[in-house]
Amino acid sequence: MKPTGPTNIRLVRMIRNLEIASRVNDAPIWKAVAEKLRRQTRRRIEVNLWKIEKYSDGVAAVVVPGKVLGEGEITKPVIVAAAGFTRSAKRKIEEAGGKAILLDDYAKINPKGSHTRIVG
């Protein structure tokens, strides 16, 4: 049988780091994100900037268990943590005053995942 999970070494390490962060910090948010990243390729999440703009009210950060695409505009300075970014998405987030960082790096910054919303 053909493997259905991620084969990208960077993504496999990211999933492992998130699962460890979930256990060590007793934060179920990182386990939920890791499970979504473990999906088959055709079921992986891709979120456009307009959706992040829509759901980022009242939160310090937005977590995307997948890739952020550059469709739409973002005007709020929000931290966006994701498994990957397109160049245009990263540029637009930083121009709005926000930060675009990888998920495992954000798990180190905010180990409990407080004031964070999962989009996707």
In a domain, 1, yes or no: no
In a domain, 4, yes or no: no
Kindly indicate the confidence band of residue 42, based on its pLDDT and cuts at 50, 70 and 90: confident
In a domain, 58, yes or no: yes
pLDDT, mean of residues 11-22: 94
Residue 88 reports pLDDT greater than 80: yes
How far is it, in rounded angstroms, from Cα 74 to Cα 12?
29
Listed residue (60, 64, 54) closest to 86, CA to CA? 64
H or E stretch including 62? strand 61-69
- Which residues sit opposite 82 in a β-bridge? 64, 102
In a domain, 35, yes or no: yes
pLDDT given for residue 3 in this prediction: 64
Q: By three-state DSSP, how is residue 77 classified? A: coil
pLDDT given for residue 18 in this prediction: 94
- Which pair of structure tokens corresponds to residue 40? 């088959």
Residue 116 reports pLDDT greater than 70: yes
Residue 97 reports pLDDT greater than 80: yes
In a domain, 3, yes or no: no
Share of the chain above pLDDT 70, in %: 97
Question: Residue written as tokens 């004031």?
Answer: 115
What is the residue-averaged pLDDT of the chain? 92
Structurally, the chain folds into a number of domains equal to: 1
pLDDT given for residue 48 in this prediction: 96
In a domain, 105, yes or no: yes
How far is it, in rounded angstroms, from Cα 16 to Cα 104?
9
In a domain, 100, yes or no: yes
Strands 61-69 and 45-48, sheet pairing:
parallel
- Which pair of structure tokens corresponds to residue 29? 């948010």
Kindly indicate the confidence band of residue 109, based on its pLDDT and cuts at 50, 70 and 90: very high
Q: Read off the amino acid at residue 79.
A: I
* Domain that includes residue 77, residue range: 9-118
In a domain, 106, yes or no: yes
Digit-coded pLDDT (tens) for 49-83: 999 999 988 888 999 999 999 999 999 899 999 99
Q: Give the domain CATH number at 96.
A: 3.100.10.10
